[in-house]
Amino acid sequence: MATSGSNQPTGAEAMVRMLEAHGVKHIFGLCGDTTLPFYDALARMDHGMTHILTRDERHAGYMADAYARVTRRPGVCEGPSGGGATYILPGMVEAGESSIPVLAITSDVSVTSNGHYPLTELDQEGLFTPLTKYTGVIPRADMLPAMVRTAFRAMTTGRPGTAHLGLPFDVQKDPVPEGEIWAQPDFQTYPAWPAAPSEAAVEGIVDALLSAANPLIVCGGGVVLAGGEADLQALAERLNIAVATTVSGQGALSELHPNCLGVVGSNGGVVETRALVEDADLVLFIGCRAGSVTTERWRFPAPGTRIAHIDSDPMVISANYATEAAMVADARLALAANNDALDADGVSKDFGGAARVKPARDAKFAAIAELVASDEKPIRPERLIAELNEVLPDDAVIVADPGTPCPYFSAYYRVDRPGRYFFSNRAHGALGYSLSAAIGAQVGRPDAKVVSVMGDGSFGMAVGEFETVTRLGLPITYVVVSNSVYGWIKAGQKSGFEGRYFSVDFNRTDHRRVAEAFGIKAWQVSEPGALKGALAEAAKHDGPTLVDVIAQPLQDARAPVSEWVA
């Protein structure tokens, strides 16, 4: 492996070798003056990693986030000092709150120039400390390997999350002891070192379930993060329990499974499925924070409902509900332990969950059947979702922005396989996520059909990364729900502020022509009858595609968002 020619690698070379030792295959990032030694090391050395140049540090973070979601390996992004560090921060915030391990490496001014007002000087440690599990600006080159190991340990253990390392310019040039360059292989994937439950906790959860008359399981993203899908299915089938999910929990159980109710809560939940939450005499949350969206501001389940809770983060349990049975453990190990306990006791019980799920799901889809078949213009969002479900393969990966697309996909798009096949940036809900996140998903899962769905507000915040898509030749299909409005806000103004619309409308963009200017094959669809054909053709094309769908504005639609319905 080539080095600078000295007996010891430089800090930049050591960083490359430490990333390689941790199994990193892809780095998403953007160049800058203070990053030159690191880039030179990446260019000279034989390391097996691919660097993907992005057009914006924010989107490098989003790409690393999505990459980590679909590969079960930490994502890595990088950027320069000053503005690069501030731009990369939104990606770290979303990934951290979503329990996704992403490492941000931001170069920095030389340690020796701190306090002398060099260009791009910034307190990076102060900036990242409240928003990551671990952060540090490396003060000396000999400390670099240990700090990299600490970052990977922090990201992948306990509740996964983000880490940040500042890499000063002079540290990149100083020598690092050869013997310090090693990695703990456990931290190449996540969750690393998952915690198993205690016997007492298992007994408590099992006793709570078996004593209920009508229990309901609500799964958050923790089940998919832990790889606990098969264990969840075994538990649901053994006791015939109804299983609901949060938006982040979609894929915990196939939505074709008779026990899967689908998404509940204020974003994607509907009254038909909420009824099962109201009727439950015990709710078991698994890998779920029981936050405001899942519980419709802590109204469903109602206060006083019996609650059991499993999570890897003890701070989540009992934060919002008095909890009868608690288990601090990895979701997969927790579910496996519960199944083992039931096996050992020979328990056989049937809660009739599938029989309750079917009429609720049937009623949910019956309520939108007219909209799915509607030939009215603008195109109804329900029709778009239904036709995507018909056109796309069941292993397609859908990345949806949190505005107009998210509630419709959460409610009506059917995730046929267990696992990570649908996600949205639901932790903080920044627009502009899915366009670039789809790049990370496609790089991480190159054989899958990746589809990014966004509103036109999101399009305007991220369009520059189309150059990245075409440069890499990625066969991503982009779908723009075009209605020339920040629809979520306008719908809120309609429902909560007597329709006093203010500063939410903007001019329509011809997204097809913009995409074509970047070299993307594109369609614009305004006729409902032409929609399915355009989506099918776009999905089959072997390069990047975009379908611009002239759609019903959100404030005029019947969106599955409970606060608007009320």
* Chain CA centroid to CA 430, Å: 12
Give yes or no for a contact between 389 and 441, defined as CB atoms under 8 angstroms apart. Answer: no
Domain that holds residue 16: 11-188
Asked whether residue 3 is domain-assigned, the answer is no
CATH number at residue 505: 3.40.50.970
What CATH number did the domain enclosing 259 receive? 3.40.50.1220
How far is residue 89's CA from residue 462's CA, in Å, rounded to a whole number? Answer: 16
User: Does 427 lie in the same domain as 479?
Assistant: yes
Show which of 331, 359, 387 is a domain's final residue. 359
**Domain identity same for 554 and 515:** yes
Q: Can you read off the two tokens belonging to residue 504?
A: 């939410």
Instruction: Compute and round to an integer the Cα radius of gyration of the chain.
Output: 24
Instruction: For residues 344 and 212, state if they share a domain.
Output: yes
Domain end, chosen from 188, 223, 249, is at 188
What are the residues facing 50 on neighbouring strands?
A: 26
Name every residue whose Cβ is closer than 8 Å to that of residue 16 and which is 6 or more positions away in sequence. 38, 41, 42, 45, 47, 49
pLDDT of residue 556: 92
Q: What is the pLDDT of residue 426?
A: 87
User: Is 4 among the domain residues?
Assistant: no
Q: Would 6 be classed as within a structural domain?
A: no
Separation of alpha carbons 361 and 125, rounded Å: 49
Q: What is the pLDDT of residue 1?
A: 44
Kindly state whether residues 377 and 524 are assigned to the same domain.
yes
Query: Are residues 426 and 446 located together in one domain of the fold?
Result: yes
Residue 181 lies in a domain: yes
Q: What is residue 347's predicted lDDT score, i.e. its pLDDT?
A: 85
Q: What is the mean pLDDT of each run of 10 residues along the chain (566 residues)?
A: 67 98 98 97 98 97 98 98 96 97 97 90 95 98 98 98 98 98 98 98 98 98 98 98 97 98 95 96 98 96 96 97 98 98 92 98 96 97 97 97 92 96 93 97 98 96 98 98 93 93 96 98 98 98 98 92 78
Asked if the structure places residue 544 within a domain, the reply is yes
Query: What are the C-alpha distances in Å from 552 to residues 7, 120, 481?
Result: 65, 45, 9
Helices 199-211 and 331-345, axial angle in degrees (round to 10) = 70
Domain assignment of residue 2, yes or no: no
Q: How many residues does the chain have?
A: 566
Instruction: Kindly state the DSSP code that residue 478 receives in the 8-state scheme.
Output: E
Instruction: Work out how many domains the chain is built from and give that number.
Output: 3
Predicted local distance difference test score (pLDDT) of residue 6: 61
pLDDT the model gives residue 137: 98
Q: What is the model's pLDDT at position 2?
A: 45
Q: Are residues 336 and 226 in the same domain?
A: yes
* pLDDT tens digits for range 542-562: 999 999 999 999 899 999 998
Residues 154 and 256 in one domain: no
Q: Are residues 128 and 158 in the same domain?
A: yes
18 plus 148 within the same structural domain:
yes
Pair 37, 174 in one domain: yes
**Structure confidence at residue 565 (pLDDT):** 75
pLDDT of residue 478: 98
Query: What pLDDT sits at residue 548?
Result: 98
For the stretch 369-379, what's the b/e string if a residue is b when 16 or more beta carbons lie within 10 angstroms of its beta carbon? eebbeeeeebb
Single out the residue in 145, 167, 188 at which a domain terminates.
Answer: 188
Q: Give the pLDDT of residue 540.
A: 97
Could you give phi then psi for residue 337, rounded to 5 degrees?
-65, -40
Q: State residue 566's pLDDT score.
A: 56
- How would you classify the pairing of strands 545-550 and 521-525? parallel
Phi-psi category of residue 246: left, alpha or beta, with phi > 0 → left and psi -120 to 50 → alpha: beta
Residues 169 and 254 placed together within one structural domain of the fold: no
Q: Domain check: are 178 and 277 in the same one?
A: no
